[in-house]
Amino acid sequence: MKFGVVTFPGSNCDHDMIDSLRNDLGQEVIELWHKDKDLSKFSKEDCIVLPGGFSYGDYLRCGAIARFSPMMQSVIEFANKGGRVIGICNGFQILCEAGLLPGVLLQNGDQQFVCKNIFLKSENTVAAMTKDVTGRPLMIPVAHGEGRYYADDATLEGLFANNQVLFRYCDEFGNIVDAANPNGAMRNIAGICNSTRNVFGMMPHPERATSSVLGNTDGQLIFQSLINNNN
């Protein structure tokens, strides 16, 4: 399985992602530039990653300009043909702006940037990214100012009914409570996927939790689930 990691102007988690996938998880990684368009090296069993950061300075809205980059036109086409795409933090915002995922990421409820370890949990036994980690709380860092997931009631009901909710914020014991929600996201949503479950977005940073040197490898479990369920 190959991973392509896209760098936009203002990306600052691209090398974290590359290092995590290449050195901690032993995967083949190809670095991609936002002005390029060529994804011919990738099949739909591979995965394109949109990393965190502040693409194009977060002007207009987070991810609003990146959505129109040449590479994103190819990523959209790749996803619509069934290819796997992951957006982390700013990458999640870009996926929502591009219409590949429903909803939007708004300014945190307390209007403060949050940077800390949080806990999240998956109850989704269908999506490749969560199949192997369901039911257990994982400690994953967050670092964002606009991570409050919002969607209208009908969209939210559809996400839960169709197993599109990937992760929800929880406490260390796995309880999904308001006190564990770092940004005011609706229903504690930390990550979602599209209806065909090949496009994944999440605000927390699993690539920052894949090294024993950093004292946390919970993020490896998320990526490994995706790799293990590559079909």
Marked catalytic residue, from 89, 96, 170, 193:
89
- The answer to whether 207 is a known catalytic residue is yes
User: In the numeric block, which tokens belong to residue 152?
Assistant: 């209208």
For 16-72, what is each residue's pLDDT tens digit? Answer: 999 999 999 999 999 999 999 999 999 999 999 999 999 999 988 999 999 999 999
The whole-number pLDDT of residue 149 equals 98
For 112-153, what is each residue's pLDDT tens digit? Answer: 999 999 999 999 999 999 999 999 999 999 999 999 999 999
- Report the candidate in 200, 178, 66 with the shortest Cα–Cα distance to residue 133: 200
- Report the candidate in 111, 101, 217, 110 with the shortest Cα–Cα distance to residue 150: 101
- HSE, side-chain direction, 13 A CA sphere, residue 221: 17
Marked catalytic residue, from 62, 96, 170, 207:
207
Question: What rounded mean pLDDT belongs to the chain?
Answer: 97
Q: Cα–chain-centroid distance for residue 93? A: 9
User: In the numeric block, which tokens belong to residue 106?
Assistant: 């708004």
- The answer to whether 193 is a known catalytic residue is no
Give Dmax over CA atoms of the chain in angstroms. 45
Query: What homologous superfamily does CATH list for 2-228?
Result: Class I glutamine amidotransferase (GATase) domain (3.40.50.880)
pTM greater than the 0.85 cutoff: yes
105 pLDDT tier (thresholds 50, 70, 90) = very high
User: How many CB atoms within 10 Å of residue 34?
Assistant: 18
Assess contact for 7 and 34: CB atoms under 8 A. Answer: yes
- The answer to whether 115 is a known catalytic residue is no
